[in-house]
Structure 1
Amino acid sequence: MSVPVDPPVSADRPVPAALPVPATLQGQRLVVVGAGSRTGRLLAQAASAAGADLVLAGPDPRKLEWTAGEVSGPAEVIPVDLADERSIAEFAARVGRFDHLVSTAAMPANGPLADLELEAIQRAFAAKVVGPLLLAKHLAGQVAENGSFTFFSGVAAWRPAPARTVMATTNGALAFLVQALAVELAPVRVNAVSPGIVDTGSWDGLGADKAAFLQQVAARNPARRVGSPEDLIKAVFYAIDSPYVTGTVLHVDGGGRLA
């Protein structure tokens, strides 16, 4: 059972020219799980521009090669299936020593409770909970001093809604998982980024209704805007670059969990 690591993205969706670039990744090895997604692509580009050597991971080698062609520095492509422990173990053996790992893994299983299928539920948990747990299991011994893991949770854990039961549960489980891993893997740091409504391209399927939907979200959010992929990248770099931050969920939701 292969698990995609992020919602599908359009190949022709433009990538912003200006990305948030940290000053601390020179010579560091960064593993990006989900490097074929839009957020993963932008993260890889910004990290590469900051001097990081990249490992680009995910289930689709074609998307990973596409991302590798967009970055400015060294990038190694290593496919991995988060639903398969053997694949993760083999991935760990190929990765070797590294400084930071970021996973944007997500495979939503949305819909009314009565319509949910076990396989979809299992795929959602593999991407958000079991996969990150196994990544930590197989890769924790390979993290350099002051290294970290950063995973992606989501606002649904704090604002559950009908037809979003699995999404809320997996995101909530991940939030507690990073706390447990931060204690067990110390001094390796483990954190999560929790996006709200972010215009990554996942809402493009709404077609003509997308603009109205995003306007409604912006009007309701305390920040009075929706998020951008650049907001997420800044949060990831903060988690990577902050040696006194661990076991923490960084909410990048414009206050959406409060509205």
Structure 2
Amino acid sequence: MSTALKDRTVLVVGRGSGIARATAEAVRAAGGTVVAASRDRSALDDAYADSGVVTETVDLTDESSVESLAARLGHVDHVVCTASARARGTVGDLKPQVVTDSLNTKVVGPILLAKHFAGRMPPDGSFVLFSGATADKPTVGMLAVAATNGAVDAVTRSLSVELAPIRVNAISPGTIDTGAYDALGQEKKAKLYDERRAHNPAHRVGTSDDVADAVVFALTNTFLTGVSLGVDGGERLV
């Protein structure tokens, strides 16, 4: 078993499924202690029952909630923020609140985490944020998602300079089979996956474990900072 994160505490913000769950499991497999936090603590309690993961409550859109979580936890070594808000839709259909919710959750929220946790972290600690392939590869219906992901990339670079030597990186997934596409319906989701397999250089759809492995790499590579790691099978290249 790897011990790359032995004696390290990692806060993972997000749901108790998909990428967040895979990240928590990967961190524990690397010897780390995980604190999982989201707005729905009861769902986290169910997801992580008997797993050794500590659960907490946080609302990234409420600064007092982030500040309170930081005060309760005290010291942490790393923070991973996987939270997002759905913001798909073409420009004619998007509501301003949908865009605002996306930015508040995925951009402002991580800034608040940095504000209230950086001072409680060791110099060799790090933050891992989540961007996405749409920041570089425009897709119809993903305008707000692309804008949000582009902002995450900018925040990552800026924080890596401001918080140094604490490292700040982002993971930028492509099409990952996490359940996020279930809302399309089985037929449309299958078509999308077939298209991705046919056109991306890896010729497959990604998994949560693919992303979680990249998170652990970002947490443990002490010479990596200010970058957005594409875990997308080369999706943005074609």
- TM-score, normalised to structure 2, is 0.95
Deviation at 1:106, TM superposition (A): 1.0
Q: Which residue of 1 aligns with 2:61?
A: 83
Q: 1:234 aligns with which of 213, 218, 232?
A: 213
Distance 1:110 1:51 in 2: 37
Distance 1:225 1:41 in 2: 21
Q: 2:73 aligns with which of 91, 95, 103?
A: 95
Residue aligned with 2:28, SS: helix
Name the amino acid aligned to 2:16.
G
Do structure 1's residue 220 and structure 2's residue 199 form an aligned pair? yes
Distance 1:119 1:22 in 2: 43
Q: Which residue of 2 aligns with 1:160?
A: 138
Whether contact under 8 Å (1:108, 1:166) holds in the other structure is no
Alignment of 1:171-250 (within 5 A): 171-205=149-183, 206-250=185-229
Deviation at 1:22, TM superposition (A): 4.3
Deviation at 1:135, TM superposition (A): 0.6
Name the amino acid aligned to 2:217.
Y
Distance 1:114 1:253 in 2: 28
Deviation at 1:170, TM superposition (A): 0.5
Deviation at 1:209, TM superposition (A): 3.7
Q: Which residue of 1 aligns with 2:35?
A: 55
Residue aligned with 2:124, SS: strand
Distance 2:113 2:11 in 1: 11
Equivalent residue pairs, number:
237
Q: Which residue of 1 aligns with 2:93?
A: 115
Q: What does the per-residue CA deviation read over 1:115-157, in whole Å, with 9 as the maximum and x for residues that have no partner?
A: 2222211110011110011110111101123110001100111
Name the amino acid aligned to 1:158.
D
Which consecutive residues of structure 1, in runs of 5 or more, have no partner in the other structure?
1-20
Deviation at 1:229, TM superposition (A): 0.7
Whether contact under 8 Å (2:16, 2:48) holds in the other structure is no
Distance 1:70 1:170 in 2: 35
Distance 2:7 2:57 in 1: 23
Deviation at 1:78, TM superposition (A): 1.3
Q: Which residue of 2 aligns with 1:134?
A: 112
Q: Which residue of 1 aligns with 2:6?
A: 26
Indicate the larger mover: 21-30 or 120-129. Answer: 21-30
Name the amino acid aligned to 1:230.
D
Distance 1:222 1:80 in 2: 38
CA RMSD after TM alignment: 1.4
Indicate the larger mover: 249-258 or 34-43. Answer: 34-43
Residue aligned with 2:123, SS: strand
- Alignment identity in percent? 42
